[in-house]
Structure 1
Amino acid sequence: MKDPIVSIKQGRLRGIIEENVDEGQFYSFKGIPYAKPPVGDLRFRDPEPPESWSGIRDASKHGPSCPQQDMITRTIIGSEDCLYLNIYTESIDNKILKPVMVWIHGGGFSTGSGNDDLYGPDYLVKSDIILVTINYRLGAFGFLNLDHEVAPGNQGLKDQVQALVWIRDNIESFGGDPNNVTIFGESAGGASVHYLTLSPLADGLFHKAISQSGVAVNPWAKVWANPDEFAYRLSDSLGRKSFDPVTVVEFLRTVDSHKLVKAQQKLLTPEEKIQSVRPFGPGMDIKSKNPFLSKPLSVAMRIGTRVPFILGYNSHEGIFSLAGFTEATFKKIDADFEKCLHPSVLTDRKAGRMTSEEIRNYYYGGERVSRKNAEKYAAMWEDVNFINGIQDVVDIQGEVGKSPTYLYRFSYDSGQSLIKMIFNLDLPGTTHTDDLPYLFYSRLLKKLNFGPPKFGSTERKVIQRFTQMWSDFAKSGNPTPVTSDLIPVTWRPVGRKLEMHYLEITEDLKMGINPDIERRLVWNEIRHKL
């Protein structure tokens, strides 16, 4: 192997050879621009195709992350010139085209990147696929929505579409098959994948989809009420009070990107933060000349996903919600339980479909809300913010039946969770993001001298199963085309409502029916009572 040079429509790229942490090597092309830098007058606008260059462009380093507050250091990082993608493959052969897997990172539509600090390609690239990871605009830069054509919203989702257009037009140069593209993502990335299956702008740009721990109808994955409210609040906080969309956008284009991110972090009240409210996120963009989502989500989702689809969640997603909780937080929720409920739940309460007392009684009975029973809060939070929405989508997929849909629940808890370590969480169970180390090798762990799990360990077996099922799905649309010692079960697609076939992924693989059915039935009763 030698440093490769690849010709694409915009010019030539020189990649590098990287050592795989699992032995061997792979080709790496990083920091490839898939759109023009969205700076200056292009801030808050739809992405535009990238410009060409002369000579050979260096593709050995990642491009900048998009402006955001770093989750660990809490510092403001990133650059608006951030619309880059990365490509990894063990071989470049235009004669035998490989399936392409496109990873969309999570981070609540406000943090994250496609870089290998979290998403190292080492495990997946050995599965005879090409892996692509992307950046997309975050926060106000990606989702400012003034309900006006000057800023109609969903710029970050349109970035993802533009990346898929670039992949369609260029991936064959890397040995990838533009007619066999799988999009997959986790959390906000999983919700993005679901959004892409619903948008006419992305039609035909991918052929299979995987949503991990996130779908478009999860409460945190969409903007509630009036999306322009937070835009006006942001402008006011930065010194320009106005309710004229043009004035607000023109002003916000003059604000330094890091100053804008800093102001964005202060927009939410303490109650809104507990409620998982997003000031800037996906929504309808009907004022756009080229809308990503012109129908209400409740209408768009009824069409169903028209490509083979995997979706699922971790067994204890809600443990993550306890990050930063203090005794004072628990006391505040105990004194006024509604303060922890998402606005979507409060809307149902006001419509008479549920009461906060019913919800509290179901999870707590007569107990006080406290740190001693924190697992009860975590269970409620994961039901509201993940499981209910994911199972709603599964119900629709079962009814519509346009494509095979596969449901999973991931419940393997190794006792070593990066997210629990970062936020000092000690409840047992598989929480949000705990699935990621079984698909990607984090370079952060490498810096901390944590190597990959040893071959023969349970953790290694989980990695092997995840990567094989995900890559087999990318190749054929079936995650278990054959059974083996490693994959001893056939993963059945979901059935009709209340007959949900699903795969439990833990130390072993086993098929089941109706995961978390008791909680599901109680919530249906609460939500739909007359």
Structure 2
Amino acid sequence: MRTISKFVFFLFLTWREGSAWEADQQKHARFKRIVGGKEAARPPLDDPIAYIFKEDHFAKVYGSRQGLHPHSYYTFAGLRYAQPPVGKYRFQRPKRVKMEGDVMGIKYAAPCVQPNPDFPSQMIGSEDCLFLNVHTPRLPGSGASLPVIFWIHGGGYRRGSAAQYGGGYLTRRDVVVVTVQYRLGTFGFLSTNDKDLPGNVAMFDLATAAEWVKDYIEFFGGDPANIVPMGQGSGASSAVFMGLSNVTQGRTRGMIAMSGSPLSPFAIDDKPQERSKRLAEKNGCPTTSTIEMVKCLRELSAEKLVAAETELENEEISEKGVQSLGIVLTPAPVVEQTNDKRFLPSYLEEEPRIALDMNHIPKIPLLTGVTKHETAGAVSGRLKINISEQLKQFPNFIKEVLLPNLVESNKRRFYAATSLLKNPLQIFEGKYFAKVQKTLQDEFNQIIEATSDALFNFPAYLISNAWSKQNIPTFFYSFDHIGKLKGVEKLLKGSLLVKQEESTDEEQTAVSHGADLPYLFDLRSLDGTPFAFQNESTPLEPEDEKVRNNLLDLIASFAKNSNELSVDSSGKTTTFPNFISILPESTLGEHFRECQMNLWSGIQVAKPCSPLTAIIKGIDKLFSNITTSTKKKKPDLPKLPRLSDIVKPKP
């Protein structure tokens, strides 16, 4: 009876809105004359308004129509999902809010507090930032409910905003896109790893946002039973954490992890107390008592906390150089104490490696992938001077310094007592890099290959392997297209993994971290302002257009029904260990980088691995004055497409 009453109430409101509109149209009616004048423009098809009906509350949410016909969609921006985490609520878990009354969803909220990408010593954003945005191709009543992509932005847990990712391309595939903001850096992840400051409040932000989506998304055309967390970089790690955590496990139907994994060396902060203490000391706060330290940090201005965190981050990068790619630079998710039922539940109760070893894996399908040269932007950008100096000082830097340090960086995350740990150089000797280093460019390319394998490819490979062993649908892709779409450098500005200046078309010879993002989203600034070169009406290069369609089809197909991806047109399985190579003519490959992944697993191989070539060019010209010197002491270191429409099997 209550359901019928709600439905009647909805019809009444719809009639009332429609009647008011019709009366207004009649009042201002225009008539076509025999001579002169123009025919009036047609009224909009419908109003961008979502009606929220719950048993104890009602809301009317005003949005806006975006995009050009026939690809227009609705955006409901700046929707609050939790109370402002300010004042005494800083460092505390979020408190959920309901949607009630008239809600204006026509303006993006301020980003969460972070360094200004143009002036890193300064702050941008607001602590009152727990908002989300909904992009939907249609509202209820015009078709079946649609799958929901719950997008978690990347940025090393310290940068980025939900407004940067417009949903206009994915909505063309009949998918609802929710982009979420969560507290960043110190404000979201600071931890002393005890009950006084357990950490992970940003992860609880995401959990609260997911609860909001489950409760309200049906009123925006989405299916609350089909929510797929998806993220890139640190956002990818967070997406998989949502599947692993008991707090959020039951709210997801699949997970999509782009260029990130919970096994990445930078996914978990294993030294939170040390990091918190250093931050406190930078700000003159006491460190002998956790309670007093937290109280002092809570009373500091956001500007002081951001400045101190930036200073500590820069110190780490300057000290560690290329090794800083494999460590946590700022506060990040932590493994909390086991939930003993006396305190609030923990978000992460065990190391991801242990969870996988113990088969504590949710029966949730997984789609994960990487770009071909993940670390190229860092190696040829911010770190290139440091790397060149290391190569100058240590002729065998790659073999004797870099590879052992990468192994050590990964060891604490996922290695068992394999032969690789006992003598990593023996395993790699003559097999990982068969080509003799002849030029500085050769060395830079090998550094990119080694760091990309160790920090991105191998963690993604391991988690895919763990999922697959449990007979859970698991899919792997490699984004291999060198395209002309721009915006990643501006989008992720400030991140160590991207160059701080835009590459020219001639320099665009690598598929770096984030290179796939312009193919999925219309990219924007932190406040949601579209980039000047992002124009929906501007035609793409034919190859870029094909790649965009291939990647969109892959993501949308997985969100709608992962089982549809299981077999291609020839009957060949597409699940892991096979993988999809994203290109203008995408192909289905077998055993992603099998030789290299075996070596990183500690498995001997018979033949040398085939190297990646021509990752970056022109290094020799940039550093023509660099020569090797004597060896020194080592430093401390729209219809669901079939997969056959997306990929073509190799002949």
Give the length in aligned residue pairs: 515
Counting only pairs closer than 5 Å after superposition, residues 30-49 of structure 1 correspond to structure 2 as: 30-49=77-96
CA distance 1:254–1:369, change in 2 (3 Å): farther
Matched, 1:393 2:477: no
Matched, 1:449 2:533: yes
Deviation at 1:429?
2.3
Deviates more, 1:298-307 or 1:177-186: 298-307
Matched, 1:504 2:581: yes
Q: Which residue pairs with 1:297 in the alignment?
A: 352
Q: Which residue pairs with 1:81 in the alignment?
A: 128
Q: Which residue pairs with 2:449 in the alignment?
A: 379
Q: What CA distance in whole angstroms lies between the structure 1 residues aligned with 2:50 and 2:282?
A: 48
Deviates more, 1:358-367 or 1:141-150: 358-367
Quick check: 2:137–2:172 contact (8 Å CA) kept in 1?
yes
Quick check: 2:152–2:238 contact (8 Å CA) kept in 1?
yes
Letter of the structure 2 residue corresponding to residue 521 of structure 1: N
Matched, 1:312 2:396: no
Q: 2:331 aligns with which of 274, 277, 280?
A: 280
CA distance 1:376–1:424, change in 2 (3 Å): farther
Matched, 1:246 2:315: no
Q: Which residue pairs with 1:432 in the alignment?
A: 513
Per-residue CA deviation, residues 30-69 of structure 1 (Å, 9 max, x unaligned), is 111111111111111111112555x412110111111111
Deviation at 1:364?
8.9
Q: Which residue pairs with 2:109 in the alignment?
A: 63
Matched, 1:468 2:572: no
Deviation at 1:295?
1.5
Matched, 1:344 2:440: no
What is the SS of the residue equivalent to 2:602?
A: helix
Q: What CA distance in whole angstroms lies between the structure 1 residues aligned with 2:361 and 2:222?
A: 28
Deviation at 1:71?
3.6
Deviation at 1:526?
7.6
Deviation at 1:15?
2.6
Per-residue CA deviation, residues 109-140 of structure 1 (Å, 9 max, x unaligned), is 1111111x3x1111111111211110111111
Q: Which residue pairs with 2:501 in the alignment?
A: 423
Deviation at 1:432?
0.6
Identity %: 25
Q: What CA distance in whole angstroms lies between the structure 2 residues aligned with 1:474 and 1:8?
A: 26
What is the SS of the residue equivalent to 1:313?
A: strand
Deviation at 1:423?
3.3
Q: 2:473 aligns with which of 383, 404, 410?
A: 404
Q: Which residue pairs with 1:227 in the alignment?
A: 272
Q: 1:127 aligns with which of 173, 176, 181?
A: 173
Deviation at 1:424?
4.9
Deviation at 1:166?
0.6
Deviation at 1:259?
1.7
Q: What CA distance in whole angstroms lies between the structure 2 residues aligned with 1:503 and 1:273?
A: 33
Letter of the structure 2 residue corresponding to residue 163 of structure 1: A
Q: What CA distance in whole angstroms lies between the structure 1 residues aligned with 2:382 and 2:580?
A: 32
Per-residue CA deviation, residues 468-487 of structure 1 (Å, 9 max, x unaligned), is 2211211112354897xxxx
Per-residue CA deviation, residues 256-313 of structure 1 (Å, 9 max, x unaligned), is 1122111101114223464232231112011763101112222112323411111111
Q: 1:144 aligns with which of 171, 174, 190?
A: 190
Quick check: 2:230–2:256 contact (8 Å CA) kept in 1?
yes
Deviation at 1:76?
1.9
CA distance 1:6–1:354, change in 2 (3 Å): farther
CA distance 1:147–1:450, change in 2 (3 Å): closer
Letter of the structure 1 residue corresponding to residue 80 of structure 2: P
Q: Which residue pairs with 1:519 in the alignment?
A: 596
Deviation at 1:408?
1.0
What is the SS of the residue equivalent to 1:131?
A: strand
Per-residue CA deviation, residues 218-252 of structure 1 (Å, 9 max, x unaligned), is 1011113x321000000000111413211111111
Per-residue CA deviation, residues 76-105 of structure 1 (Å, 9 max, x unaligned), is 211111111100112111573221111111
Q: Unpaired segments of 5 or more residues in structure 1? A: none
Deviation at 1:418?
3.3
Q: What CA distance in whole angstroms lies between the structure 2 residues aligned with 1:218 and 1:360?
A: 24
Quick check: 1:207–1:307 contact (8 Å CA) kept in 2?
yes
Quick check: 2:66–2:74 contact (8 Å CA) kept in 1?
no
Q: What CA distance in whole angstroms lies between the structure 2 residues aligned with 1:22 and 1:455?
A: 18
Q: What CA distance in whole angstroms lies between the structure 2 residues aligned with 1:331 and 1:169?
A: 55
Per-residue CA deviation, residues 393-449 of structure 1 (Å, 9 max, x unaligned), is 112122222x21111111011144434674355362211101111111124595423
Quick check: 1:489–1:511 contact (8 Å CA) kept in 2?
no
What is the SS of the residue equivalent to 1:525?
A: coil
Q: What CA distance in whole angstroms lies between the structure 2 residues aligned with 1:136 and 1:26?
A: 25
CA distance 1:447–1:328, change in 2 (3 Å): closer
TM-score by length of 2: 0.73
Deviates more, 1:186-195 or 1:454-463: 454-463
Deviation at 1:213?
0.7
Matched, 1:321 2:390: no
Q: What CA distance in whole angstroms lies between the structure 1 residues aligned with 2:69 and 2:590?
A: 36
CA distance 1:49–1:469, change in 2 (3 Å): same
What is the SS of the residue equivalent to 1:316?
A: coil
Quick check: 1:99–1:129 contact (8 Å CA) kept in 2?
yes
CA RMSD across the alignment: 3.0
Q: What CA distance in whole angstroms lies between the structure 1 residues aligned with 2:69 and 2:604?
A: 48
Quick check: 2:59–2:99 contact (8 Å CA) kept in 1?
no
Q: What CA distance in whole angstroms lies between the structure 1 residues aligned with 2:481 and 2:516?
A: 9
Matched, 1:14 2:61: yes
Q: What CA distance in whole angstroms lies between the structure 2 residues aligned with 1:246 and 1:457?
A: 59
Q: What CA distance in whole angstroms lies between the structure 2 residues aligned with 1:210 and 1:242?
A: 40
Q: 1:194 aligns with which of 229, 237, 240?
A: 240
Quick check: 2:147–2:226 contact (8 Å CA) kept in 1?
yes
Q: Which residue pairs with 1:2 in the alignment?
A: 47
Q: Which residue pairs with 1:332 in the alignment?
A: 390
TM-score by length of 1: 0.88
Deviates more, 1:518-527 or 1:133-142: 518-527
CA distance 1:63–1:317, change in 2 (3 Å): same
* Structure with larger Rg: 2
Q: Which residue pairs with 1:107 in the alignment?
A: 155
CA distance 1:405–1:355, change in 2 (3 Å): closer
Deviates more, 1:469-478 or 1:79-88: 469-478
Quick check: 2:368–2:477 contact (8 Å CA) kept in 1?
yes
Per-residue CA deviation, residues 123-164 of structure 1 (Å, 9 max, x unaligned), is 111111211110111111111110111211211111111111
Letter of the structure 2 residue corresponding to residue 504 of structure 1: S
What is the SS of the residue equivalent to 2:51?
A: strand
CA distance 1:273–1:138, change in 2 (3 Å): farther
